Structure 1
Amino acid sequence: MGVRYANQGLHASADLYREDFKNTFINVTNAQGLSATFNGGSSRYEGGELSIENNFGHLLFGDWKAFANYSYNQAVFESSFNSSYAGTVEAGQPLANIPKNMINVGVDFARGRFGAQLEGKYVSSQYVNQQLAGTPGSLQIPPYFILNLGLQDTIPVGYGYIKNVKLTLDIDNLLNRHYYPRGFEDTDYFGNNYLSVLNGMPRYVFGSITARF
């Protein structure tokens, strides 16, 4: 259920949703490294989304656009179940790998043939699955925020069949943040739980040159 609003350069929307699932899939890995998918209990995803985008037109020395969106998603098991392959799951227990809050913001700038974009993304903390059982544990990966920058310039050539050359430079994770986009809950030799994580990409700079005919 949602609404939209548009007026000239302004666009906004808001919505609410709820999704109910029966026999939620549970992925389990045995001691030999073979994975299988089983049916677990029922689950529910519910939340809301807000989005706004505005074209400011020409301001000062260029054309500007900006956008922002926010989403809230609560995902929990609706029923308790116990099995030899997945262990015990209680009703109300959060599902893994589902951040409750996510925010995206960005600004686009254009002046003549030059363009630039600055975009940021925030992801809140989220529970992770047990590595072998495939059900959520008690550990979470921390929240993170990353910023990406893109630059473009189109140079007219008009030589032979080449109309122009486009130069692009992209910098991902501009602030060089150390973050974990994914993880698992594992157990050491003494039975202590610890967080096993996948490290996010550090600052990454790449460019391209494209000739247009």
Structure 2
Amino acid sequence: MIAGKDLLADMAAALAENGLILRGGFNFEAQESPPQGPSGAPARAVVLVGQAGASAWRHFLDWRGRRPAGLADPLDSWSRDVIGGVAARFNARAAGPNDRPFLPIQRWAMRAEGLKPSPLGILMHPRYGLWHAYRGVLLFDRELSFPQPPEVVHLCDSCVEKPCLKSCPVDAYSGDGFAYQACLSHVRGPDGAACRTTGCLDRNACPHGAAYRYPADAQAFHMAAFSR
């Protein structure tokens, strides 16, 4: 039995209570080897859960304010709480991007939403630009009825200037990939104050989705987590 689209709308409403959004999904093909669904059998469908802009930030801060100081990986913990609660309501299994074994969430996201990576590796969204993320997935024992993914114009293809590759003081992003150690050393060092307080300079240089740019405190939080 294929569940109707009303289920997706109900899930979207439940996620919106904490500023999260339903990011699409798909039914697994017969030849695939999906992870376990809630029953322990291979899942039949996956729904991606994420955020765009600052919609989830205040909900996370409210949650964090009621938890002990120094809680490790608080954003992951909040995501597990919220998405796990939605999973329980809709008979699904929740999984996060940092749960082991790692799930191919980036690849699933490209399949579900038709997105492609930007030069920074972050998927470029036609509305949100680089200011979005995936916080987890919901896995189901049954197939769901998904709308056809829209045709997406990849904004990076028409971007000539590529400011996202010209703003980093240590050229962390290039055709050779991400220079992780150079980025980390700079962010931790005396010249990395701008990155630590306002976020990645390359990411902020992208003109797309500016209305969804994360607030400075959110960017500082993510940069602190990166540089620990």
Shared topology, TM-score over 0.5?
no
Q: TM-score under structure 2 normalisation?
A: 0.18
Structure ranking higher in strand proportion = 1
Structure ranking higher in helix proportion = 2
